[in-house]
Amino acid sequence: MASFCIAHLYPDLMNLYGDRGNLICLQKRLEWYGHNCSVQSISLNSDIDYRTFDMIFMGGGSDREQGLVYQDLLRKADQLWKALDAGLPALLICGAYQLLGTHYESFDGKKLKGLGFFNLYTQGETERLIGNIVLACRLNNTVTTVVGFENHAGRTYLEDKSLESFGTVLAGFGNNGQDGHEGVRYKNLIGTYLHGPLLPKNPAVADFFINIMAARKGVNITTSLNDRLEDFAHQQIKRRVLGS
Ligand code: GLN
């Protein structure tokens, strides 16, 4: 039995629409696979050694919270980038995803510098992009659908055309409602607008992270889980959004 530990960044500030449910899902699935997983909360002004974690997770937050978190993350940006570049799995939702770019400008012109890890930026507009969304994503060389819910004022543009998005939009808005892309992928990082129970509704994405965490630890996951209920939920949403 192996022990995994996930860092939950700023749970008191960055947690919208039940984003933290993704952690419960990872913990539970790791348990079902015969391992255990703890979650450590990282708050403002606390030090973090990314080498002690198997994965990092940050949910979405409003512009105010994004500003506070940005200031704090900036102090640790070099360390964070090193960890991500070395393949640390990371799931960063909405406001957290936006912080990875060069800047975020709100609809009323307030500009927030980003961490600048990727050449992407976000421009806020008054009309929010809200609703259910379905993507086609390539995970472990298999194209799979991913269902979710999005709610954002920001339109994100991947300026660097060599950047890989998380998926292609089949229904919904995605990064900006125009170019058909959603989120960003880099090594084992996924930045996405998909809020709430992303992993419970998409066990393939949960297992994508679990398999990487396990491989990085030299742990073999051989059992497979009965995902009948999860797959049923996934299919129901997909049918509702895409039609039959
Ligand atoms: N401020 C961002 C936006 O609305 C992020 C909000 C969120 O995380 N849902 O675009």
Domains of the chain: 3-242 (3.40.50.880)
The answer to whether 150 touches 173, Cβ cutoff 8 Å, is yes
Average pLDDT, the chain: 96
CA of 92 to the centre of ligand 1 (A): 12
Give yes or no for residue 16 CB within 6 A of ligand 1.
Answer: yes
List the catalytic residues: 94, 195
Q: Which atom of ligand 1 is nearest to the CA of 106?
A: 1
Ligand 1 center–CA 60 separation, angstroms: 7
* pLDDT over 80 (residue 45): yes
Ligand 1 and 152: CB distance under 6 A: yes
Give the Å distance between the CA of 130 and the centre of ligand 1.
11
What confidence score (pLDDT) does residue 17 get? 87
Ligand 1 atom nearest to 124, measured from its CA: 10
Give residue 242's pLDDT. 95
CB of 2 closer than 6 A to ligand 1? no
How far is ligand 1, taken at its centre, from the CA of residue 90, in Å?
A: 18
Q: Look at residue 183 in the predicted model and tell me its pLDDT.
A: 98
Q: Is the pLDDT of residue 244 over 80?
A: no
What pLDDT, on a 0 to 100 scale, did the predictor assign at position 87?
Answer: 98
Summarised one tens digit per residue, pLDDT across range 48-106 is: 999 999 999 999 998 889 999 999 999 889 999 999 999 999 999 999 999 999 999 99
Average pLDDT over residues 195-210: 96
Residues 6+ apart with CB under 8 A from 229: none
pLDDT band at 187 (very low <50, low <70, confident <90, very high): very high
Q: How many CB atoms lie within 10 A of CB 117?
A: 19
The structure tokens listed for 112 are 């927030």
Integer Cα distance of 93 and 191 in angstroms: 6
Q: 222: pLDDT confidence band, cut at 50, 70 and 90?
A: confident
Task: Say whether pLDDT at 34 is over 90.
Answer: yes
CA distance 101 to 38: 29
